[in-house]
Amino acid sequence: MKLNSETFYTLQQKIIKARTKMFKKFKKIYELRHAVERGFAWADKCRKLVIRYERLEATFEGFRYLAAAMVNYRTEFGRNLL
């Protein structure tokens, strides 16, 4: 059996079923999950938050708020302004 694009496409249709019904049902949850994971990824770019250097919880919490504010600022006004 020779694999060309047409054969591959027909095999793909037979093996992999479409999951559109499942994704329609949970679409809002996946959007929220993506937003949360993206927020954590952006927070991990702040070196102060990756490794906790501060001894006081209040100082660390302040840096978390500052990182969240920076992420929101970049999202709202663009990356090149900071």
Average confidence (pLDDT) over 28-46: 81
In whole angstroms, give the CA distance from residue 82 to residue 63.
17
Residue 57, domain member (yes or no):
yes
Contact 51, 57 (CB under 8 A): no
pTM reported for the whole predicted model: 0.50
Model pLDDT, residue 8: 61
Its domain, for residue 59, covers: 43-82
In whole angstroms, give the CA distance from residue 82 to residue 27.
33
Residue 67, domain member (yes or no):
yes
Confidence of residue 17 (pLDDT cuts 50, 70, 90): low
> What stretch of H or E contains 10?
helix 5-15
Confidence of residue 67 (pLDDT cuts 50, 70, 90): confident
Residue 19, domain member (yes or no):
no
Confidence of residue 28 (pLDDT cuts 50, 70, 90): confident
Q: Number of structural domains, the chain?
A: 1
